[in-house]
Protein backbone atom coordinates (compact mmCIF):
# COMPACT_ATOMS: atom_id res chain seq x y z
CA UNK A 1 0.00 0.00 0.00
CA UNK A 2 1.31 3.45 -0.94
CA UNK A 3 2.44 5.52 2.01
CA UNK A 4 0.58 8.83 2.34
CA UNK A 5 0.47 12.00 4.43
CA UNK A 6 -2.15 14.66 5.05
CA UNK A 7 -1.87 17.81 2.94
CA UNK A 8 -3.81 20.69 1.45
CA UNK A 9 -3.72 20.15 -2.31
CA UNK A 10 -4.53 22.72 -5.00
CA UNK A 11 -6.37 21.40 -8.06
CA UNK A 12 -7.81 24.57 -9.60
CA UNK A 13 -8.80 28.12 -8.61
CA UNK A 14 -11.06 27.84 -5.59
CA UNK A 15 -10.38 24.10 -5.33
CA UNK A 16 -8.12 23.25 -2.39
CA UNK A 17 -8.62 19.88 -0.70
CA UNK A 18 -7.38 18.52 2.62
CA UNK A 19 -6.65 14.91 1.76
CA UNK A 20 -4.18 12.04 1.66
CA UNK A 21 -1.23 12.74 -0.64
CA UNK A 22 1.70 10.50 -1.67
CA UNK A 23 4.53 10.61 0.87
CA UNK A 24 7.66 12.33 -0.48
CA UNK A 25 10.37 10.02 -1.82
CA UNK A 26 13.92 11.31 -1.51
CA UNK A 27 16.61 11.28 -4.18
CA UNK A 28 20.32 11.86 -3.62
CA UNK A 29 21.06 15.19 -1.92
CA UNK A 30 17.50 15.73 -0.74
CA UNK A 31 16.19 16.40 2.77
CA UNK A 32 12.86 15.53 4.36
CA UNK A 33 11.30 17.87 6.92
CA UNK A 34 8.49 17.08 9.32
CA UNK A 35 6.65 20.40 9.01
CA UNK A 36 6.22 22.33 12.25
CA UNK A 37 4.57 25.43 10.82
CA UNK A 38 3.84 27.31 7.61
CA UNK A 39 2.66 30.85 7.11
CA UNK A 40 -0.07 31.88 4.67
CA UNK A 41 1.22 34.38 2.11
CA UNK A 42 -0.94 36.88 0.23
CA UNK A 43 0.25 34.99 -2.84
CA UNK A 44 -1.43 31.82 -1.54
CA UNK A 45 -4.71 33.71 -1.22
CA UNK A 46 -4.39 35.24 -4.70
CA UNK A 47 -3.67 31.81 -6.14
CA UNK A 48 -6.76 30.37 -4.46
CA UNK A 49 -8.89 33.09 -6.04
CA UNK A 50 -7.53 32.44 -9.51
CA UNK A 51 -5.08 35.31 -9.81
CA UNK A 52 -3.89 35.70 -13.39
CA UNK A 53 -0.28 36.11 -12.17
CA UNK A 54 -0.44 32.46 -11.06
CA UNK A 55 -3.01 30.83 -13.32
CA UNK A 56 -2.33 32.80 -16.51
CA UNK A 57 -4.80 32.97 -19.34
CA UNK A 58 -4.22 29.40 -20.56
CA UNK A 59 -2.01 26.39 -19.88
CA UNK A 60 0.64 27.99 -22.10
CA UNK A 61 1.33 30.85 -19.66
CA UNK A 62 0.23 29.16 -16.43
CA UNK A 63 2.69 29.31 -13.52
CA UNK A 64 0.79 26.95 -11.23
CA UNK A 65 1.19 23.22 -11.91
CA UNK A 66 -1.71 21.43 -10.19
CA UNK A 67 -2.17 19.23 -8.36
CA UNK A 68 0.41 20.60 -5.94
CA UNK A 69 0.74 21.53 -2.28
CA UNK A 70 0.82 25.28 -1.47
CA UNK A 71 2.93 27.01 1.16
CA UNK A 72 6.43 28.50 0.97
CA UNK A 73 6.79 30.06 4.45
CA UNK A 74 7.55 26.78 6.21
CA UNK A 75 10.05 25.27 8.61
CA UNK A 76 10.40 21.84 10.12
CA UNK A 77 12.57 19.19 11.72
CA UNK A 78 14.95 17.15 9.57
CA UNK A 79 13.81 13.52 9.78
CA UNK A 80 15.58 12.01 6.76
CA UNK A 81 18.53 12.78 4.49
CA UNK A 82 19.47 10.96 1.28
CA UNK A 83 23.19 10.99 0.65
CA UNK A 84 25.48 13.82 1.74
CA UNK A 85 24.01 17.23 2.58
CA UNK A 86 26.74 19.31 4.26
CA UNK A 87 25.73 21.32 7.31
CA UNK A 88 22.40 19.55 7.80
CA UNK A 89 21.78 16.83 10.39
CA UNK A 90 18.86 14.74 11.57
CA UNK A 91 17.02 16.65 14.28
CA UNK A 92 17.91 20.13 13.01
CA UNK A 93 15.15 22.69 12.63
CA UNK A 94 15.50 24.01 9.09
CA UNK A 95 13.81 26.50 6.79
CA UNK A 96 14.37 26.77 3.06
CA UNK A 97 14.39 29.81 0.82
CA UNK A 98 11.20 29.99 -1.20
CA UNK A 99 12.87 29.59 -4.59
CA UNK A 100 14.14 26.23 -5.87
CA UNK A 101 16.85 27.29 -8.34
CA UNK A 102 17.84 25.08 -11.24
CA UNK A 103 21.55 25.55 -10.55
CA UNK A 104 22.66 25.80 -14.17
CA UNK A 105 20.97 28.77 -15.89
CA UNK A 106 22.83 32.07 -16.44
CA UNK A 107 21.53 33.63 -13.22
CA UNK A 108 22.30 30.60 -11.07
CA UNK A 109 25.81 30.34 -12.52
CA UNK A 110 26.47 34.03 -11.79
CA UNK A 111 25.26 33.83 -8.19
CA UNK A 112 21.84 35.43 -8.71
CA UNK A 113 19.90 32.29 -7.91
CA UNK A 114 16.74 34.16 -6.84
CA UNK A 115 16.37 35.28 -10.47
CA UNK A 116 16.62 31.68 -11.78
CA UNK A 117 15.03 31.40 -15.22
CA UNK A 118 13.07 28.35 -14.08
CA UNK A 119 11.48 30.61 -11.44
CA UNK A 120 10.26 27.74 -9.28
CA UNK A 121 8.81 28.64 -5.87
CA UNK A 122 7.71 26.05 -3.33
CA UNK A 123 3.97 25.49 -3.47
CA UNK A 124 3.36 26.18 -7.14
CA UNK A 125 5.07 23.27 -8.91
CA UNK A 126 4.60 19.50 -8.76
CA UNK A 127 8.35 19.03 -8.25
CA UNK A 128 8.44 21.66 -5.48
CA UNK A 129 5.48 20.91 -3.23
CA UNK A 130 5.10 23.31 -0.32
CA UNK A 131 4.58 23.26 3.41
CA UNK A 132 0.81 22.90 3.78
CA UNK A 133 1.48 19.26 4.60
CA UNK A 134 2.80 16.95 7.29
CA UNK A 135 6.10 16.59 5.44
CA UNK A 136 7.96 18.55 2.78
CA UNK A 137 10.90 17.49 0.60
CA UNK A 138 13.78 19.91 0.04
CA UNK A 139 15.31 19.37 -3.41
CA UNK A 140 19.08 19.20 -3.81
CA UNK A 141 19.36 22.72 -5.22
CA UNK A 142 17.14 24.35 -2.59
CA UNK A 143 18.83 26.72 -0.15
CA UNK A 144 18.57 25.38 3.37
CA UNK A 145 19.20 27.23 6.64
CA UNK A 146 19.53 25.68 10.10
CA UNK A 147 17.57 27.65 12.69
CA UNK A 148 18.82 28.38 16.22
CA UNK A 149 17.44 26.08 18.91
CA UNK A 150 16.21 29.18 20.74
CA UNK A 151 13.77 30.13 17.96
CA UNK A 152 10.06 29.91 18.63
CA UNK A 153 7.75 28.48 15.98
CA UNK A 154 6.58 32.02 15.23
CA UNK A 155 10.12 33.28 14.67
CA UNK A 156 10.90 30.30 12.46
CA UNK A 157 7.88 30.82 10.21
CA UNK A 158 8.59 34.54 9.88
CA UNK A 159 12.11 34.19 8.45
CA UNK A 160 10.80 33.94 4.87
CA UNK A 161 8.48 36.98 4.81
CA UNK A 162 10.94 39.14 6.76
CA UNK A 163 13.68 38.18 4.30
CA UNK A 164 11.55 39.44 1.42
CA UNK A 165 11.14 42.75 3.24
CA UNK A 166 14.84 43.05 3.99
CA UNK A 167 15.73 42.54 0.32
CA UNK A 168 13.30 45.29 -0.69
CA UNK A 169 14.96 47.69 1.74
CA UNK A 170 18.39 46.74 0.44
CA UNK A 171 17.16 47.64 -3.03
CA UNK A 172 16.08 51.04 -1.65
CA UNK A 173 19.59 51.85 -0.39
CA UNK A 174 18.30 53.90 2.54
CA UNK A 175 20.48 56.78 3.74
CA UNK A 176 20.46 58.55 7.11
CA UNK A 177 18.75 61.70 5.80
CA UNK A 178 16.02 59.87 3.86
CA UNK A 179 12.28 60.08 4.36
CA UNK A 180 11.08 56.52 3.79
CA UNK A 181 7.49 55.57 2.98
CA UNK A 182 6.32 51.95 3.32
CA UNK A 183 2.93 51.28 1.75
CA UNK A 184 1.07 48.27 3.14
CA UNK A 185 1.69 47.24 6.75
CA UNK A 186 1.03 43.55 6.85
CA UNK A 187 3.65 41.32 8.49
CA UNK A 188 6.27 42.25 5.88
CA UNK A 189 5.50 45.97 5.83
CA UNK A 190 5.47 46.17 9.62
CA UNK A 191 8.78 44.33 9.81
CA UNK A 192 10.19 46.74 7.23
CA UNK A 193 9.40 49.63 9.58
CA UNK A 194 11.62 47.88 12.14
CA UNK A 195 14.45 47.12 9.70
CA UNK A 196 14.34 50.54 8.01
CA UNK A 197 14.87 52.15 11.41
CA UNK A 198 18.12 50.20 11.83
CA UNK A 199 19.42 52.46 9.03
CA UNK A 200 18.54 55.52 11.14
CA UNK A 201 16.69 57.49 8.42
CA UNK A 202 15.16 60.91 9.06
CA UNK A 203 11.58 59.63 9.03
CA UNK A 204 9.67 56.38 8.47
CA UNK A 205 6.08 56.83 7.26
CA UNK A 206 3.71 53.88 6.97
CA UNK A 207 0.54 53.72 4.86
CA UNK A 208 -2.25 51.40 6.00
CA UNK A 209 -6.06 51.28 6.10
CA UNK A 210 -6.43 48.81 9.01
CA UNK A 211 -6.10 50.48 12.41
CA UNK A 212 -4.74 47.39 14.19
CA UNK A 213 -1.91 47.10 11.67
CA UNK A 214 -1.23 50.82 11.91
CA UNK A 215 -0.97 50.57 15.69
CA UNK A 216 1.51 47.71 15.49
CA UNK A 217 3.59 49.48 12.85
CA UNK A 218 3.99 52.42 15.20
CA UNK A 219 5.28 50.00 17.83
CA UNK A 220 7.69 48.64 15.23
CA UNK A 221 9.17 52.04 14.41
CA UNK A 222 6.89 53.92 12.05
CA UNK A 223 7.09 57.57 13.07
CA UNK A 224 3.79 58.35 11.34
CA UNK A 225 1.08 56.13 9.83
CA UNK A 226 -1.33 57.62 7.29
CA UNK A 227 -4.62 56.05 6.23
CA UNK A 228 -5.08 56.49 2.44
CA UNK A 229 -8.85 56.26 2.87
CA UNK A 230 -8.99 59.09 5.39
CA UNK A 231 -6.50 61.58 3.93
CA UNK A 232 -4.75 62.68 0.76
CA UNK A 233 -1.46 60.85 1.23
CA UNK A 234 0.44 62.90 -1.35
CA UNK A 235 -0.60 66.18 0.25
CA UNK A 236 0.28 64.96 3.75
CA UNK A 237 3.72 63.74 2.68
CA UNK A 238 4.40 67.05 0.95
CA UNK A 239 3.50 68.88 4.18
CA UNK A 240 5.88 66.66 6.13
CA UNK A 241 8.76 67.26 3.70
CA UNK A 242 8.51 71.01 3.01
CA UNK A 243 6.92 70.32 -0.36
CA UNK A 244 9.74 68.11 -1.63
CA UNK A 245 8.29 64.60 -1.27
CA UNK A 246 9.80 61.40 0.14
CA UNK A 247 13.17 59.94 -0.84
CA UNK A 248 12.05 56.31 -0.86
CA UNK A 249 8.66 54.71 -1.53
CA UNK A 250 8.41 50.95 -0.97
CA UNK A 251 5.19 49.52 -2.44
CA UNK A 252 4.28 46.45 -0.35
CA UNK A 253 0.49 46.47 -0.60
CA UNK A 254 0.00 45.19 -4.14
CA UNK A 255 -2.50 47.96 -4.88
CA UNK A 256 -2.30 49.64 -8.32
CA UNK A 257 -3.52 52.86 -6.68
CA UNK A 258 -0.58 52.69 -4.30
CA UNK A 259 1.84 52.43 -7.23
CA UNK A 260 0.53 55.63 -8.80
CA UNK A 261 0.48 57.29 -5.39
CA UNK A 262 4.13 56.38 -4.92
CA UNK A 263 5.23 58.13 -8.10
CA UNK A 264 3.39 61.25 -6.97
CA UNK A 265 4.79 61.13 -3.41
CA UNK A 266 8.44 60.96 -4.43
CA UNK A 267 10.73 63.95 -4.68
CA UNK A 268 13.01 64.59 -7.64
CA UNK A 269 15.61 61.80 -7.84
CA UNK A 270 13.49 59.67 -5.51
CA UNK A 271 13.64 55.86 -5.43
CA UNK A 272 10.57 53.68 -5.96
CA UNK A 273 10.73 49.98 -4.97
CA UNK A 274 8.02 47.56 -6.13
CA UNK A 275 7.84 44.57 -3.78
CA UNK A 276 4.11 43.82 -3.53
CA UNK A 277 2.51 41.62 -6.19
CA UNK A 278 0.10 43.97 -7.94
CA UNK A 279 -3.49 42.81 -8.29
CA UNK A 280 -4.00 44.48 -11.69
CA UNK A 281 -2.28 46.54 -14.37
CA UNK A 282 -1.12 50.03 -13.40
CA UNK A 283 -2.02 53.12 -15.41
CA UNK A 284 0.21 56.09 -14.58
CA UNK A 285 1.78 59.15 -16.17
CA UNK A 286 5.10 57.59 -17.10
CA UNK A 287 6.54 61.04 -17.82
CA UNK A 288 6.74 61.53 -14.06
CA UNK A 289 9.63 59.07 -14.04
CA UNK A 290 11.70 60.62 -16.81
CA UNK A 291 10.87 64.10 -17.99
CA UNK A 292 9.35 64.95 -14.60
CA UNK A 293 11.32 63.76 -11.57
CA UNK A 294 14.11 61.55 -12.96
CA UNK A 295 13.10 58.76 -10.62
CA UNK A 296 14.83 55.44 -10.05
CA UNK A 297 12.38 52.52 -10.37
CA UNK A 298 13.56 49.31 -8.71
CA UNK A 299 12.05 45.85 -8.51
CA UNK A 300 12.39 43.52 -5.54
CA UNK A 301 11.98 39.78 -6.11
CA UNK A 302 12.07 37.20 -3.32
CA UNK A 303 14.86 37.37 -0.75
CA UNK A 304 18.31 37.44 -2.40
CA UNK A 305 20.97 36.20 0.04
CA UNK A 306 19.48 37.79 3.17
CA UNK A 307 18.31 34.71 5.11
CA UNK A 308 21.49 34.48 7.24
CA UNK A 309 21.21 38.18 8.15
CA UNK A 310 17.53 37.83 9.06
CA UNK A 311 18.22 34.79 11.24
CA UNK A 312 21.07 36.61 13.02
CA UNK A 313 18.94 39.73 13.42
CA UNK A 314 16.08 37.81 15.03
CA UNK A 315 18.49 35.87 17.25
CA UNK A 316 20.12 39.13 18.46
CA UNK A 317 16.77 40.82 19.06
CA UNK A 318 17.42 43.51 16.45
CA UNK A 319 14.62 42.20 14.24
CA UNK A 320 11.36 41.90 16.15
CA UNK A 321 8.73 39.24 15.57
CA UNK A 322 6.34 39.65 18.52
CA UNK A 323 2.72 39.90 17.48
CA UNK A 324 3.31 39.37 13.75
CA UNK A 325 1.75 35.89 13.92
CA UNK A 326 -1.79 36.85 14.90
CA UNK A 327 -3.57 33.51 14.43
CA UNK A 328 -2.64 29.82 14.29
CA UNK A 329 -4.84 27.06 12.81
CA UNK A 330 -4.52 23.34 12.32
CA UNK A 331 -3.85 22.27 8.75
CA UNK A 332 -7.29 20.72 8.31
CA UNK A 333 -8.80 24.12 9.16
CA UNK A 334 -7.06 25.84 6.23
CA UNK A 335 -10.36 27.25 4.87
CA UNK A 336 -11.07 29.02 8.16
CA UNK A 337 -7.48 30.27 8.18
CA UNK A 338 -7.87 31.73 4.68
CA UNK A 339 -11.13 33.40 5.67
CA UNK A 340 -9.51 34.89 8.76
CA UNK A 341 -6.58 36.22 6.74
CA UNK A 342 -8.94 37.96 4.33
CA UNK A 343 -11.73 39.19 6.62
CA UNK A 344 -10.53 39.55 10.21
CA UNK A 345 -9.37 43.15 10.81
CA UNK A 346 -6.98 41.93 13.52
CA UNK A 347 -5.22 39.44 11.19
CA UNK A 348 -1.55 40.02 10.43
CA UNK A 349 0.20 36.73 9.57
CA UNK A 350 -1.71 33.44 9.81
CA UNK A 351 0.13 30.19 10.50
CA UNK A 352 -0.92 26.61 9.80
CA UNK A 353 0.29 23.66 11.85
CA UNK A 354 -0.07 19.99 10.81
**Domain range list for the chain:** 4-152+321-353, 162-299
The CB density around residue 203, as the number of other CB atoms within 10 Å, is 18
Burial environment of residue 261 by CB neighbours within 10 A (0 to 12, 13 to 18, 19 or more): buried
Residue from 9, 274, 276 nearest 130 by CA: 9
Pick 4-152+321-353's CATH classification: 3.90.660.10, 3.40.50.720, 3.90.180.10, 1.10.357.10.
3.90.180.10
Tell me if 81 sits within 8 A of 90, measured CB to CB: yes
CATH superfamily of 162-299: NAD(P)-binding Rossmann-like Domain (3.40.50.720)
Q: b/e map of 300-338 (b: 16 or more CB within 10 Å)?
A: bbbbbbbbebbbebbeeeebbbebbbbbbbebeebeebb
Going residue by residue through the chain (354 aa), what tens digit of pLDDT does each one get? 789 999 999 999 999 999 999 999 999 999 999 999 999 999 999 999 998 889 988 888 899 999 999 999 999 999 999 999 999 999 999 999 999 999 999 999 999 999 999 989 999 999 999 999 999 999 999 999 999 999 999 999 999 999 999 999 999 999 999 999 999 999 999 999 999 999 999 999 999 999 999 999 999 999 999 999 999 999 999 999 999 999 999 999 999 999 999 999 999 999 999 999 987 889 999 999 999 999 999 999 999 999 999 999 999 999 999 999 999 999 999 999 999 999 999 999 999 999
pTM of the model: 0.96
How wide is the angle at C-alpha 181 spanned by C-alphas 179 and 187, nearest 5°?
135
- Gap between the Cα atoms of 289 and 269, Å rounded: 9
Own/partner contacts of 272-275, CB < 8 Å, gap of 24 or more, are 272/296, 272/297, 272/298, 273/168, 273/169, 273/171, 273/172, 273/248, 273/249, 273/298, 273/299, 273/300, 274/298, 274/299, 274/300, 275/164, 275/165, 275/168, 275/188, 275/250, 275/251, 275/300
pLDDT for res 225: 98
3-state secondary structure of 282: coil
Amino acid sequence: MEKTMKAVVTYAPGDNRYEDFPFPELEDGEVLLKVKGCGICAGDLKAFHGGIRVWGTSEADRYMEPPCIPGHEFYGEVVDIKGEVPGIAIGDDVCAEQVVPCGHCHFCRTGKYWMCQRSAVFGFKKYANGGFAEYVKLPKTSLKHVLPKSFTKEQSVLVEPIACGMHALEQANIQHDDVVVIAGLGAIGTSMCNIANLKMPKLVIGLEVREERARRAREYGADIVLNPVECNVVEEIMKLTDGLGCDVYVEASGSPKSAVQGLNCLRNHGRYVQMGVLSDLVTADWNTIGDGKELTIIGSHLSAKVYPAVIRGIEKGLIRTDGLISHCFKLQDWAKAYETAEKDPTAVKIMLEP
